[in-house]
Structure 1
Amino acid sequence: MFPSGSQPDAREVRDFPHPIVEEPAVFIPMPDGSRLAARLWRPADAETHRVPAIIECIPYRKRDATSADDERMHPYFAGHGYAALRIDLRGSGDSDGVLEDEYLASEQDDIVAAIAWLAEQPWCSGRVGMLGISWGGFNSLQVASRQPPALGAIIAVGATVDRYHDDVHYKGGCVLNENFGWAASSLAFMSRPPDPALRDDWRELWQHRLAHQPFVAENWFDHQTRDAYWRHGSVCEDYSRLTTPTLAVTGWADAYVNFVAEILEHAPCPRRGIVGPWPHAYPHLAMPGPTIGFLQEALRWWDHWLKDRDTGIMEEPLYRVFCPSFSEADPQRLEVPGEWLAETQWPSPHIASRELALGNGELQAAEDDAARPGVVRLRAPADNGLQCGEYIPHSSGPEIAGDQRSDDAHSLTYDTEPLDADTVILGRPTLSLRVSVDQPRANLIVRLCDVSPEGVSQRVSYGVLNLCHRDSHVTPSEVPRDTPLDVTVSLNQTCYRFTAGHRLRVSVTTAYWPLVWPSPYPVTLTLHEAGSRLTLPQRAPHDTPPVQFEPAVFSGPMQHRVVRAGEQSRDVTHSLTDGWTRHAIIDDFGEIAYDHGLTNIASADERYAIHPEAPATATMSKSWRQAFQRDGWQVHTETWAALSCDAEWFYLGARLQAFEGDERFIDRRWKTRRRRRWV
């Protein structure tokens, strides 16, 4: 959300085929009379030589919060013959209105109207592309499914096709802690003021926004099953609507790792997929890398579909993936070892299911009886999962999952013998189990790991399942106690090379804190090993076209300076006095001064606490302080949100304060509860 560095091997470029002009304040009229604010870069001669437009529509403030990433991408497109616009969604940044929730139909209506308006501008050829990462990737897919006539192509990065299964809210029917954490951050982000340098009515607009801003966690906890709320905006509900040419991109370290394969398999549109080693970041800026020339690849996509140029992009393999291999646990690493692979079809005929049976702590070929299956039990502490990393890591560092040995210690683990030869998997592993539990609500967490000869355990993929959702995410039911149940846990899509001499490990447990909110009771899990199977999508070696990308570049210059550098910390403590485990995640984003005169100071404080023997003691909180100033003007907001629970209820609280100078003029509070529904 704030200016950040880029990979050391990425090169800044400032010389382009077309001279660029920038318009920092373009206002796009909506049918209801409201206006969306945009920042526009376009070729200087676009009014005499019209060009296609490319839009990115997100709610994170083009004026400052995303400006560093915007300046490293959109001028590149403008310099190569496009009008590039970063648009603030309604209710954010310098746009009118209130942002009431994610991905509403009204948001899509606004973007469809903006596309139609752009197509009529004197500098636009009438053809429009749309791209974005995260929210901008989501709405690129959603708007493409609306099929606006002028929309000729999209690029979706780090997105999803299923808002219930594969966003920040719920996964496998489990409540993700990010369901509340993202609501807390959204409260802070949407409280930020318009810039008075662009809006004379900034105070009225800001006051209206603050007075009507919702606390979206209330809504998200109202919908704990896959109901109509989540089906809206999930393009998987009707893939036939996705006819717009789509380039789908993500990274194996991102939470949004599944959508690329889903689009390649199900969507009827012309499409290509790229998955690198990256976290939640654009591929030309991501750490860890290796990065790729994403801007050059995007330009090939735009030129082909918006300018009818033969760039060769559609001759590239359907699916290009980076295949990582083991690396020592180094959270600061800049690159992941591995190689690029390609598949010309998806699903691929070169991938076959390989089954491994679980028994006596071993993984062996399913037809091998030597595994000696038995019955084993586990009572995991509620704080198991301390090496899970962030649900959505944005960069190298402790956000990336670490050495899994401490989490394995509180799991049922099954290992292969050291491998005789390299094994490559590509796709979605699954684990079929017969389990029973002694409580009516329980979670199941499965991790697939690579174990080195030295014993280091590296997470390759994972999956979670709320056992109440074992039959349906629409109509869950409580778990019958001490009754064997046959369940299958689907892990995330992955690609990985297990090298000779290493072991595959599958780990099964009932807690994954602080990534998954715990079930309310301590759970004893019984695993009936007979018939339990790990199914791997094993890729056979075969000849495929080589995968090559140009080196990463980014456009410049960035129009800000760092007054005070930020710093981050992530600390975990276990108290020998009271037995609690506590997390403290501090993000100080420093002080940034922008060339247009605005200065931004921001910090966040995120806390988690739980007693290992009492899951219902789980608590989390997140607070933000954001200050904005320019000559003669100074405002700031302070937000706080906290979540706790007991066996039957979630307890939600929040506070929003806004200050002009030293005077507080808004102080809003929320305090409510939501019943736990099969979680």
Structure 2
Amino acid sequence: MRTVAVALAAVCLSIVSAPAVAGNVVPPGAAFGAYASSRAYTEQISSTFYLPMRDGVRLAMTVSRPARNGKAIEGRFPVIWHHSLSATQEPNDGTGPFSGGFRSMPQLTDFGYVVVQVARRGNGQSFGERRGYHDRNEAQDAYDVTQWLAGQPWSDGKVGIYGCSNTGDAALHAVSMRPPALKAAFMGCFSWHKYDAFRRGGIFAQWGTGPARTVEEDMKQKAVDADPQKTLLRQAAEEHQRSTPLFEMWKGMPYRDSYSPLVASRFWAEGSAAHYADQIRRSGVALYVVGGWMDELRDQGLITFLNVPGSRIVIGPWKHCANDDFPLVEEAHRFFDEHLKGIDTGLRNAPPIHYFVQNAGTAGEWRSAAAWPDAAGTLTSFGLGADGTLGGKAGAGSPRALDIKYDVACPDPGSGPFAQPCHVPGAGISYAGKPLDAETEVTGSGVADLWVSADAADANLFAYLEDVAPDGTIRVITEGRQKASLRKTAEAPWRLPAGVPWHRGFAEDAEPLVPGTPVRLTFELMPTSWVFKPGHRIQITVTGADYRERARDKAALATSVRIYSDRARLSAVMLPIVSRK
């Protein structure tokens, strides 16, 4: 056992309980009010050990308890836990150094919580094999761990869970199992449906590797207390090598209904929280969703919010699992105090939506709303004019030709979930509007509505919404993508933001292109909130390749695409324009 002194701000800051006014602008300096909760402890004591599951697989666990003078405090406390890739919060767990807030959750022992880290089976110090990624084996483990935590002598029987990225997914899958002791879940940057997260628009881009560590990499982790020679850790590491290779599994499932022989499952369904939506809604577990406007999964968190009544969401100007200077731990503290300790923190009366409007004013501003349709703008159509302008008219001329550059590179590339869309001069066709006379706010999900033809049976299309400054500097604000052969739309089985099309993406829905024949593609531009300043121009750029694509099969894709803007086939985009009167 070891004693660790930890510190947390004595006064916790949190979002104020503002009136539930649609798109309410929070005055400067008042975005975050004071949530006072006295610190009861200044030390914690932690122990690590193995907990056997129903099938004998041993999961590694770290339990951190409030302490004083090097000894754990006697008594019962609510428990918060994290279903992670290690029991010791290693940097490569997926929430690493980019998620300072989430990594600091163990500090909540200061305020009378037991905080627990559990390595998922087949990962970290735990034994077993990872069959898929958030499969029902892991979900059943989450149920068993939750109920075990509730029954310990240091537990008061009320349990919460938290996580971001892969651990955010794990938290939502725990909710889907409806363990009686689970009362609250605080989750960031996760997927509602894995197909839409990993193969957005049917295109395998940005995501796709997952944890795939060697024995040597696993051996660098800290072992549990009873394994000082790392004998058990090596046994566990060797078992991990029999895990399903996730990249191969995802690459081998091009359709939403694809069957993977690697896991003997239609895994997009099995591993997606969306398929357990009714269980999640019936669980009664309070949900708090955290998202970022520069995170690939921002639409997934918003869709979760729309489909689970009573949930809350905060969306900031952040990348994946980042929170900059936002007091994330303090907000989680307030949330857990409300739902695990029964303290009236004012949270229940606060608007359920808080979002950051980027570029508003001098540095952006926080706003609150009672419902996402209230916050989002009205979809307004802008034609991709025959003259190459945004908001232009149809013409009788020839379509614009896009010769696709598959060696496209970004001058400032990111990696994995932190990679951002990038404007590459000469790699796409751009449609720019006139310089703006006044500020124009875009908040919500846009829609690309393109008429295209290609010289092959398929093409990948990307559309970027961009801000062009007077000096010519271009910033990508948001983006969408769609594989042409999977253009068929259908009624979504869950609620989506207003006007957003849904593609079922089953194998039987695939419709190869006939070379030279125009077809219509409609797809979402992922949600954002951005103010375009006077003198700037709104621009749409369409490309046929993106540096984030994974396992691209160039032989099956077009080398040239044409974009139509004639009277019968006017390509357009619809942007959610906000009117502030």
Same fold (TM over 0.5): yes
* Partner of residue 505, structure 2: 473
Is it true that 1:225 corresponds to 2:255 in the alignment? yes
Q: How does 1:630-669 map to 2 (within 5 A)?
A: none
1:341 to 364, 367, 370: 367
Q: For residues 550-595 of structure 1, what are the alpha-carbon distances to aligned partners after superposition, in whole Å with 9 as ceiling and x for unaligned? A: xxxxxxxxxxxxxxxxxxxxxxxxxxxxxxxxxxxxxxxxxxxxxx
1:16 to 28, 39, 44: 39
Q: Tell me the CA shift for residue 240 of structure 1.
A: 2.7
Q: Tell me the CA shift for residue 371 of structure 1.
A: 7.2
Question: Residue type of the partner of 1:144?
Answer: V
Q: Tell me the CA shift for residue 379 of structure 1.
A: 0.5
Is it true that 1:389 corresponds to 2:420 in the alignment? no
Is it true that 1:319 corresponds to 2:366 in the alignment? no
* Partner of residue 609, structure 1: none
* Partner of residue 563, structure 1: none
Q: Is the 8 A contact 1:303 1:309 kept in 2?
A: yes
Change (3 A) 1:326 1:306: closer
* Partner of residue 128, structure 1: 159
Work out the CA distance in 1 between the residues paired with 2:442 and 2:102. Answer: 37
Q: How does 1:598-637 map to 2 (within 5 A)?
A: none
2:280 to 224, 242, 261: 242
Q: Tell me the CA shift for residue 314 of structure 1.
A: 2.1
* Partner of residue 75, structure 2: 49
1:107 to 131, 134, 138: 138
Percent of residue pairs bearing the same amino acid type: 25
Q: Is the 8 A contact 1:428 1:494 kept in 2?
A: yes
Q: Is the 8 A contact 1:90 1:97 kept in 2?
A: yes
Q: Tell me the CA shift for residue 428 of structure 1.
A: 0.9
Q: Is the 8 A contact 1:375 1:529 kept in 2?
A: yes
Change (3 A) 1:444 1:517: farther
* Partner of residue 28, structure 1: 51
Q: How does 1:47-446 map to 2 (within 5 A)?
A: 48-62=74-88, 64-65=90-91, 73-166=104-197, 169-176=198-205, 178-179=207-208, 181-182=209-210, 195=223, 198-199=226-227, 201-202=231-232, 205-206=235-236, 208-209=238-239, 212-227=242-257, 228-243=266-281, 244-268=285-309, 270-283=310-323, 289=324, 291-325=325-359, 337-348=363-374, 351-359=377-385, 360-364=387-391, 369=393, 375-387=399-411, 389-390=413-414, 392-394=416-418, 400=420, 404=423, 407-446=424-463
Q: For residues 107-136 of structure 1, what are the alpha-carbon distances to aligned partners after superposition, in whole Å with 9 as ceiling and x for unaligned? A: 111111000000001111101000001111
Question: Residue type of the partner of 2:571?
Answer: S
* Partner of residue 667, structure 1: none
Residue 493 of structure 1: SS of its match in structure 2?
strand
Work out the CA distance in 2 between the residues paired with 1:279 and 1:413. Answer: 25
Q: Tell me the CA shift for residue 370 of structure 1.
A: 7.8
Q: Is the 8 A contact 1:255 1:392 kept in 2?
A: no
Work out the CA distance in 2 between the residues paired with 1:58 and 1:134. Answer: 10
Q: Is the 8 A contact 1:251 1:280 kept in 2?
A: yes
Q: Tell me the CA shift for residue 35 of structure 1.
A: 2.6
Question: Residue type of the partner of 2:180?
Answer: P
Residue 242 of structure 1: SS of its match in structure 2?
helix
Work out the CA distance in 2 between the residues paired with 1:498 and 1:534. Answer: 16
Work out the CA distance in 1 between the residues paired with 2:553 and 2:244. Answer: 28
Q: Is the 8 A contact 1:391 1:515 kept in 2?
A: no
Q: Tell me the CA shift for residue 466 of structure 1.
A: 1.0
Q: For residues 15-42 of structure 1, what are the alpha-carbon distances to aligned partners after superposition, in whole Å with 9 as ceiling and x for unaligned? A: 9322433223143332223332222222
Is it true that 1:486 corresponds to 2:520 in the alignment? yes
Q: Tell me the CA shift for residue 482 of structure 1.
A: 1.0
* Partner of residue 594, structure 1: none
Q: Tell me the CA shift for residue 208 of structure 1.
A: 3.8
Residue 84 of structure 1: SS of its match in structure 2?
strand
Q: Tell me the CA shift for residue 411 of structure 1.
A: 1.0
Q: Is the 8 A contact 1:437 1:524 kept in 2?
A: yes
1:527 to 563, 566, 573: 563
Q: Which moved more, 1:210-219 or 1:416-425?
A: 210-219
Aligned residues: 505
Residue 42 of structure 1: SS of its match in structure 2?
strand
Question: Residue type of the partner of 1:219?
Answer: M
In terms of fraction of residues, the more helix-rich structure is 2
Q: Tell me the CA shift for residue 216 of structure 1.
A: 2.8
Q: For residues 404-457 of structure 1, what are the alpha-carbon distances to aligned partners after superposition, in whole Å with 9 as ceiling and x for unaligned? A: 2xx242211111101111111111111101110010121111101000000111
What is the Cα-based RMSD across aligned positions, in Å?
Answer: 3.0
Residue 419 of structure 1: SS of its match in structure 2?
coil
Change (3 A) 1:535 1:64: closer
Q: Tell me the CA shift for residue 239 of structure 1.
A: 2.7
Residue 390 of structure 2: SS of its match in structure 1?
strand
Change (3 A) 1:185 1:340: farther
Work out the CA distance in 1 between the residues paired with 2:480 and 2:165. Answer: 21
Question: Residue type of the partner of 1:18?
Answer: Y
Work out the CA distance in 2 between the residues paired with 1:338 and 1:249. Answer: 18
Work out the CA distance in 2 between the residues paired with 1:416 and 1:392. Answer: 32
Change (3 A) 1:416 1:36: same
Work out the CA distance in 1 between the residues paired with 2:52 and 2:101. Answer: 22
Question: Residue type of the partner of 2:574?
Answer: T
* Partner of residue 604, structure 1: none
Q: Which runs of 5+ in 2 are unaligned?
A: 1-7, 13-37, 258-265, 489-503
Work out the CA distance in 2 between the residues paired with 1:174 and 1:210. Answer: 29
Question: Residue type of the partner of 2:186?
Answer: I
Q: Is the 8 A contact 1:425 1:496 kept in 2?
A: yes
Work out the CA distance in 2 between the residues paired with 1:185 and 1:178. Answer: 17
Q: Is the 8 A contact 1:58 1:88 kept in 2?
A: yes
Question: Residue type of the partner of 1:222?
Answer: G
For CA contacts below 8 A with separation 6 or more, give which structure has more relative contact order.
2
Work out the CA distance in 2 between the residues paired with 1:265 and 1:293. Answer: 24
Question: Residue type of the partner of 1:176?
Answer: A
Q: Tell me the CA shift for residue 170 of structure 1.
A: 1.6
Work out the CA distance in 2 between the residues paired with 1:420 and 1:373. Answer: 30
Q: Which runs of 5+ in 1 are unaligned?
A: 1-9, 284-288, 328-335, 543-679
Q: Tell me the CA shift for residue 211 of structure 1.
A: 5.1
* Partner of residue 568, structure 1: none
Question: Residue type of the partner of 1:75?
Answer: P
Q: Tell me the CA shift for residue 193 of structure 1.
A: 6.3
Q: Tell me the CA shift for residue 11 of structure 1.
A: 7.2
Q: Tell me the CA shift for residue 346 of structure 1.
A: 1.9
Is it true that 1:537 corresponds to 2:576 in the alignment? yes
Work out the CA distance in 1 between the residues paired with 2:157 and 2:74. Answer: 14
